[in-house]
Chains A and B, each alone.
Chain A
Amino acid sequence: MSYLNGPRLVFAGKFIADVSTVNNKPAHYKEGGRYTADDYADWDIGYWNPYGTGVWRLTDCVVTNAINADGSVAAGDSVIGMAVADADDRPPAKMVDLDPEQQMVSAIWGLLVRLTGTDGRELLRGNYDVASFTDLWWRSWDAGPAFKYTPHTPAFFGASFQSVLSGLTWGDVGGSPFLSTLKAAADSGLLSIKFNVVGYNAGYKCGPGIERHLPNPPDFTTGLLTGTIGLAARNEPRFYTLGRHLQPTQNVMLPKAALNYATAVVDDARKTLTIDLGNSVPFETWRGEMVATPLDVGYLDGAGDFQSLGTVKPCNDWYRTTAGIQGFPLTDEQLTAVASSPVAVTIVDSSGKRAVVGQESADGKVVRADQFVFRMSPGDKVSVSLWATRFGKPLAGTAVSLAFDNPQTDKGDPPTGTPASALTFPTMVPTDGNGVATLVLSAQDPGEPRAADNLDGQVYGVRPSLADATYQDPYDFISVLVWSGYTVPEAPTWEADIQPILVQYANLYPVMLPVLDMGDYDSVCKHLYPLQYAMSLEEGDPNYMPVVRDLSPAKRAAILKWAKNPVRGTPVARPPKPRREPAVSTAAPDPNRLTK
């Protein structure tokens, strides 16, 4: 059960991702003085949004369509036109990287999603479970006419977020038959939510040798969003849809790819195949027209020939009112065939030849971790649910292999994944009758492998795989940040213990400086109450500090201990950190790697 089954509403609008960018480079974490306003104005330090707040918001989002459980459109239902909004009585959500060396799983923390009627009355609210984006790709082929100068690279990329809404509170939905049905069907207490982001505006291109253009263009830090809210089951993945997973046949990190990864589900009872192409169809230009090439959805028969089930005709209106989701009725024969044949999407290319642009693997096998981003202290263990399917059905009693697949590093940055001994896991786990394997990750103290760069702990990647499976999604691995071991001092003082931890935040997040200088004793003392409060919260709380969620629980405990008796102490001469040997990247740098 997911947003692809049962009733779902479709919404479209914009988002704001006011991410901060000084923290994008590991080099900026180093100790040694404070940055100045001139430093932040230097693209090499400040990058494209040095004064970003980290805030992530939904704006101008409205319900554009509602689909009944039988696939029909809930035409005329009062839900259409309602607003999908975020918090109205608490701080805004924040967008946070896992680590400067793993920026490809940025997550939204503390997002409240609300549905409000045109009269302003709230009909539904729910908390978005922290979830990271996935399936980032080069979605807008060209900048188009919107920008005066070449836009910064994130403009071209699209991605998707999938999660669940929990802690649901319903208002009076009696005026909307659709919402009444949705509410009645949502007996799990959860709803699934999936949205696609595209057309982001990160200003004009900046980098070595590139002339910097300021001020930023209109709509800076905003992007376009299209999404769906539907049903969710408690015993299914929260961040992933059990179904049919199609992989593209072209390199999606380069422009001109015709299709990105896509998910479909087959409903045997309703005899329907529903495909989500919401993050799969490219745009001609940034915030311009969708690429209108018709997409035939079907399957590859035993002979490898494409059998069409129907056609999607992409256009902006279609996207806005469907979020890229389309259903196809199946005959009994088609239902039978699809059950064991790879689902595929084809186009007729410019030479008149039919070309497969995305398909399930021939073996139909897929495995993915549901939650795929973790932060761990030494001694922590976490359970990860791995879901294995074959042509969308649970793959029971099979072995899932596990191996390191650490995040790639940029030239000159410290290596990731070392020491390997700090993150241990079995190399193989079996799936149960539901196709679920439970992987336990155990963290040990990695020491301070990145101390020369003043980065806490180490990041790791762990990739699950099925023997002989040919499906490959580079994003389908587990990212883990393991914090360095740290002993909370008996009597922490500002100078010896706390300033060295907090000054990094002052340097990396200059937007805070006019309000709170985390590197300054007096400033921190002046704001001790709100700091203590914010740092004592559960980290999913929108008020939690540090916003970037990169402070280990042990160091946080030291700060809270100090805050009860905020002694300044005397300055401590710290020996300079040993210089690190220049990193040798374990893998060839990906020229298309997007640095957010």
Chain B
Amino acid sequence: MTTNQSWAVAGPVPPAGTKALDLAKPGPSLFVKAMPLETLDNVRAALQKAIELEHATLPVYLQAAYSLDDAKNGQIAGMIIGVAMQEMEHFCQACNILVAIGGSPAIDDPAFVPTYPGGLPEGIGTQPGQPEFIVHLRGFSKDQVKTCFMVIEEPADPVDIQDAGRLVAASDIAANYQTIGEFYEAIASALTTLCETQSIFSGTAAGQVYGMFDIKPILDLTSALDAINRIVVEGEGTPTSPEEPDDATMAHYYTYYEIYKGRSITRKDDGWYFTDPAIPFDPNGVANIIDDPKQSDYADGSAAAIQSQAFNTYYSNLLKALHASFNGQPDRINEAIGLMFDLKIQAKLLMNTPMPDGSGKFAAPTWQYVP
């Protein structure tokens, strides 16, 4: 689906010292449909969308991470899990901001859960004129990193752009946010504007989930803007650096770029370079799982069906626990943490369960909601 041939294949790992000239965005691009952001209700609705979007990335990232054998590809698995953990943090931050302005995050709803293959949640889709952006639920591959993860995480303005031209006309873009970061920045801007004329923050930490991930409660506009800034920087880096400012962690887009190219990226005086250490990928260390699995792919009573049903039950219970956490019972977040363990154990079990069709493939989590 790519339009830039230099992106067509990951190719050999670039030698250390190579200038990362092609540290550029591929097409297609992910866009967030513009939403009116004038009233408090508008902002609450936008935050609900942000929550849905943060969540929507998790099944695809975790499916890939869980498919990796930690003994053979532990570094890559760890990098993806690291991104996923930040998405969870962003999820919590967005929920807290919504709670702080009197909203109620809606999480335990079948509509909350994406289906695969499919687009991301409603309103977050493909810009006219672009190839349709379809998310597949797949095991790890460099192609999945390139055509899915890097599209999701694409910054507004990747640094060191070589092939700088966006693939759509400016007029097409005007009505939409080009990236998730821009979407958040629009929310930040709307919050700032609203605060000029009214008091929108409850001023209390009650009902928020904080402490873990170093999340601070949202008490006022300043803390809300700090949280949004952290989300954007962690996700996209800054316009001048792919690194998050406070540490040497690469923003998500560049983390995935490192995985794709198989080598770390470091800044030098005259630009960005591929350096040591290499990030090795062992193709033998990936579970050969089926693409876009569904519960109905597993015969009733089969081990895969039973383990998949269990996975979906824990996944749904997790969403319900999160819903309770951000709707008046913050302590329930610990139930969610416990369920994350059950979920991962169950995913690994499924990925070790052969499909009975003789294809040599293995079952995989279907991430479906059980009411």
Residue ID in chain B nearest A222 by CB atoms: B306
Contact A91 B306 (CB under 8 A): no
User: How long is the Cα–Cα vector from A533 to B212 in the complex, in angstroms?
Assistant: 12
Which residues in window 319-370 of B have CB below 8 A to A?
A: 320-321, 323-324, 332, 334-335, 337-342, 344-346, 348-349, 352, 354, 356
Contact A89 B306 (CB under 8 A): no
A543 at the interface (CB under 8 A from B): yes
Cβ–Cβ < 8 Å partners of B340 in chain A: 530
Give B120-155 as 1s and 0s: 1 = Cβ < 8 Å from A's Cβ atoms: 000000000000000000000000000000000000
A120 at the interface (CB under 8 A from B): yes
B16 at the interface (CB under 8 A from A): no
B22 at the interface (CB under 8 A from A): no
B303 at the interface (CB under 8 A from A): yes
Contact B339 A53 (CB under 8 A): no
Give A561-579 as 1s and 0s: 1 = Cβ < 8 Å from B's Cβ atoms: 0000000000000000000
Contact B314 A91 (CB under 8 A): yes
Cβ–Cβ < 8 Å partners of A243 in chain B: none
Contact B345 A515 (CB under 8 A): yes
Q: How far is the CB of A382 from chain B (nearest CB, A)?
A: 28
Q: How far is the CB of A207 from chain B (nearest CB, A)?
A: 21
Which residues in window 66-103 of A have CB below 8 A to B?
A: 87-92
Q: How far is the CB of B72 from chain A (nearest CB, A)?
A: 12
Q: Which of A16, A218, A511 has the most CB of B within 10 A?
A: A218
B41 at the interface (CB under 8 A from A): no
Give A40-57 as 1s and 0s: 1 = Cβ < 8 Å from B's Cβ atoms: 000000000001010101
Known: A216-B303, A534-B338. A511 touches B317 (CB 8 A): no
Q: How far is the CB of B75 from chain A (nearest CB, A)?
A: 13
Residue ID in chain A nearest B332 by CB atoms: A89
User: How long is the Cα–Cα vector from A51 to B342 in the complex, in angstroms?
Assistant: 13
User: How long is the Cα–Cα vector from A530 to B303 in the complex, in angstroms?
Assistant: 29
B104 at the interface (CB under 8 A from A): no
Which residues in window 181-227 of B have CB below 8 A to A?
A: 212
B178 at the interface (CB under 8 A from A): no
Cβ–Cβ < 8 Å partners of A515 in chain B: 341, 344-345, 348
Known: A57-B310, A120-B371, A514-B70. A87 touches B317 (CB 8 A): yes
Count of residues in B whose CB is under 8 Å from the partner chain: 37
Contact A89 B317 (CB under 8 A): yes
Contact B339 A219 (CB under 8 A): no
B313 at the interface (CB under 8 A from A): yes
Residue ID in chain B nearest A512 by CB atoms: B345
Residue ID in chain B nearest A51 by CB atoms: B349
Q: How far is the CB of A547 from chain B (nearest CB, A)?
A: 10
Known: A511-B349, A533-B334, A533-B337. A88 touches B314 (CB 8 A): no
Contact B299 A88 (CB under 8 A): no
B302 at the interface (CB under 8 A from A): yes
Contact A91 B338 (CB under 8 A): yes
User: How long is the Cα–Cα vector from A59 to B301 in the complex, in angstroms?
Assistant: 12
Contact A89 B320 (CB under 8 A): yes
Known: A87-B317, A512-B345. A219 touches B301 (CB 8 A): yes
Residue ID in chain B nearest A86 by CB atoms: B313
Cβ–Cβ < 8 Å partners of A361 in chain B: none
User: How long is the Cα–Cα vector from A92 to B323 in the complex, in angstroms?
Assistant: 18
Q: How far is the CB of A255 from chain B (nearest CB, A)?
A: 25
Residue ID in chain B nearest A91 by CB atoms: B338
**Contact with A92, one of B314, B332, B349 (Cβ below 8 angstroms):** B314
Q: How far is the CB of B23 from chain A (nearest CB, A)?
A: 30
B255 at the interface (CB under 8 A from A): no
Residue ID in chain A nearest B66 by CB atoms: A514
Which residues in window 220-236 of A have CB below 8 A to B?
A: 220-222
User: How long is the Cα–Cα vector from A91 to B341 in the complex, in angstroms?
Assistant: 9
A145 at the interface (CB under 8 A from B): no
Contact A90 B338 (CB under 8 A): yes
Residue ID in chain B nearest A543 by CB atoms: B338
Which residues in window 275-316 of B have CB below 8 A to A?
A: 299-303, 306, 309-310, 313-314, 316
Cβ–Cβ < 8 Å partners of A87 in chain B: 317
User: How long is the Cα–Cα vector from A91 to B342 in the complex, in angstroms?
Assistant: 7
Cβ–Cβ < 8 Å partners of B341 in chain A: 91, 515-516, 530
User: How long is the Cα–Cα vector from A88 to B322 in the complex, in angstroms?
Assistant: 12
Cβ–Cβ < 8 Å partners of A16 in chain B: 306, 310
Contact A91 B339 (CB under 8 A): yes
User: How long is the Cα–Cα vector from A18 to B323 in the complex, in angstroms?
Assistant: 28
Cβ–Cβ < 8 Å partners of B356 in chain A: 215
**Contact with B320, one of A51, A88, A218, A512 (Cβ below 8 angstroms):** A88
Cβ–Cβ < 8 Å partners of B70 in chain A: 514
User: How long is the Cα–Cα vector from A509 to B317 in the complex, in angstroms?
Assistant: 24
Contact B324 A89 (CB under 8 A): yes
Q: How far is the CB of B370 from chain A (nearest CB, A)?
A: 8
**Contact with B354, one of A88, A215, A529 (Cβ below 8 angstroms):** A215
**Contact with A530, one of B310, B316, B332, B337 (Cβ below 8 angstroms):** B337
Q: How far is the CB of B267 from chain A (nearest CB, A)?
A: 28
Q: How far is the CB of A13 from chain B (nearest CB, A)?
A: 14
User: How long is the Cα–Cα vector from A514 to B67 in the complex, in angstroms?
Assistant: 11
Give A510-529 as 1s and 0s: 1 = Cβ < 8 Å from B's Cβ atoms: 01101110000000000001
**Contact with A89, one of B300, B309, B335 (Cβ below 8 angstroms):** B335
User: How long is the Cα–Cα vector from A526 to B108 in the complex, in angstroms?
Assistant: 29
Which residues in window 16-46 of A have CB below 8 A to B?
A: 16, 18
Contact A90 B348 (CB under 8 A): no
User: How long is the Cα–Cα vector from A89 to B338 in the complex, in angstroms?
Assistant: 11
User: How long is the Cα–Cα vector from A221 to B310 in the complex, in angstroms?
Assistant: 12
Which residues in window 377-392 of A have CB below 8 A to B?
A: none
Give B94-110 as 1s and 0s: 1 = Cβ < 8 Å from A's Cβ atoms: 00000000000000100
Cβ–Cβ < 8 Å partners of B352 in chain A: 51
Contact B345 A91 (CB under 8 A): no
Contact A90 B310 (CB under 8 A): no
Contact A92 B303 (CB under 8 A): no
User: How long is the Cα–Cα vector from A514 to B317 in the complex, in angstroms?
Assistant: 22
Q: How far is the CB of A243 from chain B (nearest CB, A)?
A: 37
Known: A89-B324, A533-B334. A218 touches B302 (CB 8 A): yes
Residues of A within 8 A of B (CB): 16, 18, 51, 53, 55, 57, 59, 87-92, 120, 215-216, 218-222, 511-512, 514-516, 529-530, 533-534, 542-543
Question: 6 A-B pairs, CB-CB below 8 angstroms?
Answer: A89-B108, A512-B345, A515-B345, A529-B337, A534-B338, A542-B338
Q: Sorted from nearest, which 3 A-B pairs have the closest CB atoms?
A: A218-B301, A543-B338, A89-B320
